Amino acid sequence: MKDSIEVETYILDIPDELLSNYEASGITFLSEYLSEEVIRHTYELKEKDDNGERLQAVIFEVYKEIIGGYGVLRTWVPGVFNLDDKERLIKEQMIK
pTM of the shown model: 0.86
Span 51-91, pLDDT tens digits: 888 889 999 999 999 999 999 988 777 788 888 887 787 78
The pLDDT of residue 93 is 73
* Neighbour-count burial of 82, counting CB atoms closer than 10 A to its CB (0-12 exposed, 13-18 middle, 19+ buried): middle
Span 10-40, pLDDT tens digits: 999 999 999 999 999 899 999 999 999 999 9
The domain segmentation of the chain, as residue ranges, is 3-91
Would you give the DSSP letter of residue 30? G
* Neighbour-count burial of 55, counting CB atoms closer than 10 A to its CB (0-12 exposed, 13-18 middle, 19+ buried): buried
Question: Where does the pLDDT of residue 2 fall: very low under 50, low under 70, confident under 90, or very high at 90 and above?
Answer: low
